[in-house]
Amino acid sequence: MIPRVLLVTGAYYPEISSAARQCRDVARQLAGRVQFEVLATAVDRSLPMVETVDGVTVHRLPIEVDSARSRVIAGLRLAAIVARVKRRVDLVHVHGFSTKNVPLTILTKTFRMPLILTLHTAGQDDPASVKRRGGLASWAYRQADLVTTVSRQLSNDSADGGPAANVIEIPNGVDTVRFRPATGDERLALRRRLGLPIEGSQILFVGFFSRDKRPDLLCDAWIRLAGRSADPISLVCVGAAESKYFEVDPGLAERMRRSARDAGLEDRLILVEPTHAIDDYFRSTDIFALPSAREAMPMALLEAMACGLPCVAYRLSGSTDVLVEDGVNGILASDSAQFGAALESLLRDRIRAEAFGARARKTVVERYSLDRTADRWLEAYRRVLSERSR
């Protein structure tokens, strides 16, 4: 029997988030083996309420994140959609923990629909963070038939104080055909097409402009590095610099521009809005940098590694240190001095950098390919449905 699954996520194509892209990629990978429908919130009110994306029906809940009235209306619409689709859905798979989890859990209990909860975000989806939301949130958190996590740290946190002992780890997966190394000629052609500097080296950052992602820390390291280099070095940052999303700090981008201008590097700092063509930016660059202070399973790092890029990341227990073996397939830093030194060492020693990139690519192909992740999702669906049928 083909499982019929309602995916519930905070965003879905064409809106951009790591979880949204992972859901869409896995849904396409499992086409013919799982029948999906999607229920997603949407901050872009111009998007249709119901749309077909890649053959999957997508139901959207328009929401204004700073409006209590909008959240109430979205909750009522959520209930109406779940009631409408319940006869053609075998289970609900919700991604992340937010205000929608409480009403959604009540609905799945009422309609006797099994529930899978996937935890994506450190500092938001873990038991301690949910507990701060109150008793109802903690109750909803414990009701899942199965909990899946994308990282070792989230698995440990959930096993210690989460919903149940019924916790399995399913890492994020990467399309290793789309995210693949570029030849030198391809890299130059991409830079020309994207309007990026052709000369010199390029460092890439991908992520929200937030205090946890710390693009400003990378900017400071880049300015120091560029000041010591005889060759030009560009910093390309792809991500939301201004957004109603609670994590985004709109002041970071302006402070980075000001710092680059003061250093005479304004034309070498390129800020790019979120894009569906993110693979082009990975494949156009020389080094990927992840200065984050908080991550679970960073998709940007996985995608950079899949593209054969030498990567520098801050050491985060149960997260980046699972993906990157320091000095083997990348470099892990514990402070800003180490972070800057690591970037400089990779720019100076291109042979070593290429070796890191090749090993990084091998790591992703062997352990984090999209087909492996999709197969694990399917196993989880079959497991929950089998247990419910006993």
Beta carbons of 114 and 388 less than 8 angstroms apart: yes
pLDDT at 39: 97
Q: What is the pLDDT of residues 231-263, one digit of tens each?
A: 999 999 999 877 655 678 889 999 999 999 999
Residues comprising the chain, all counted: 390
Task: Give the CA distances from residue 342 to residues 5, 134, 216, 348, in Å, rounded to whole numbers and listed in that order.
Answer: 44, 42, 17, 10
Q: What is the pLDDT of residues 78-137, one digit of tens each?
A: 999 999 999 999 999 999 998 889 999 999 999 999 999 999 887 788 888 888 888 999
pLDDT at 60: 95
On the 0-12 / 13-18 / 19+ scale of CB atoms within 10 A, 355 is middle
Q: Give helix 336-348 / helix 215-228 axis angle, nearest 10°.
A: 50
Beta carbons of 260 and 234 less than 8 angstroms apart: no
Determine the straight-line distance between the first and last CA of the chain, rounded to whole angstroms: 16
Write phi, then psi, for 331 (nearest 5 degrees).
-130, 135
Q: What is the pLDDT of residues 339-389, one digit of tens each?
A: 999 999 999 999 999 999 999 999 999 999 999 999 999 999 999 999 887
3-state secondary structure of 233: strand
Residue 302: pLDDT band with limits 50, 70, 90:
very high
Which is nearest to 44 in space by CA: 90, 1, 13? Answer: 13
DSSP state of 335: S
pLDDT at 71: 80
pLDDT at 155: 83
Q: In whole angstroms, what is the distance from residue 111 CA to residue 89 CA?
A: 11
Of residues 313 and 318, more confidently modeled: 313
Which residues have CB under 8 Å from 185's CB, separation 6+?
A: none
Q: What is the pLDDT of residues 10-61, one digit of tens each?
A: 999 999 988 999 999 999 999 999 999 999 999 888 999 999 999 999 999 9
DSSP string, 41-109: EES-TTS-SEEEETTEEEEEEE--TT-HHHHHHHHHHHHHHHHHHGGG-SEEEEES-STTHHHHHHHHH
Decide the pairing of beta strands 233-238 and 201-206.
parallel
Q: Which residues of 259-295 are buried (b: 16+ CB within 10 A; e: fewer)?
A: bbeebebeebbbbbebeeebbbbbbbbbbbbbbbebb
Torsion of CA 279, 282, 284, 289, to 10 degrees: 160
Q: What is the pLDDT of residues 157-192, one digit of tens each?
A: 776 554 445 889 999 999 999 999 999 999 999 999
Q: In whole angstroms, what is the distance from residue 321 CA to residue 313 CA?
A: 9
Decide the pairing of beta strands 56-62 and 115-119.
unpaired
Would you list the domain boundaries of the chain? 4-173+369-389, 184-367
Q: Is-same-fold flag (4-173+369-389; 184-367)?
A: yes
- Whether the bond between 14 and the residue before it is cis, its omega within 30 degrees of 0, is yes
Which CATH topology does 184-367 take? Rossmann fold (3.40.50)
Kind plus residue range of the DSSP H or E element containing 347: helix 336-348
Residue 267: pLDDT band with limits 50, 70, 90:
very high
pLDDT at 163: 46
CATH of domain 4-173+369-389: 3.40.50.2000
**Average pLDDT of the segment spanning 287-294:** 96
pLDDT at 162: 47
Pull the structure tokens for residue 200. 């010199």
Task: Give the CA distances from residue 249 to residues 42, 211, 266, in Å, rounded to whole numbers and listed in that order.
Answer: 20, 7, 20
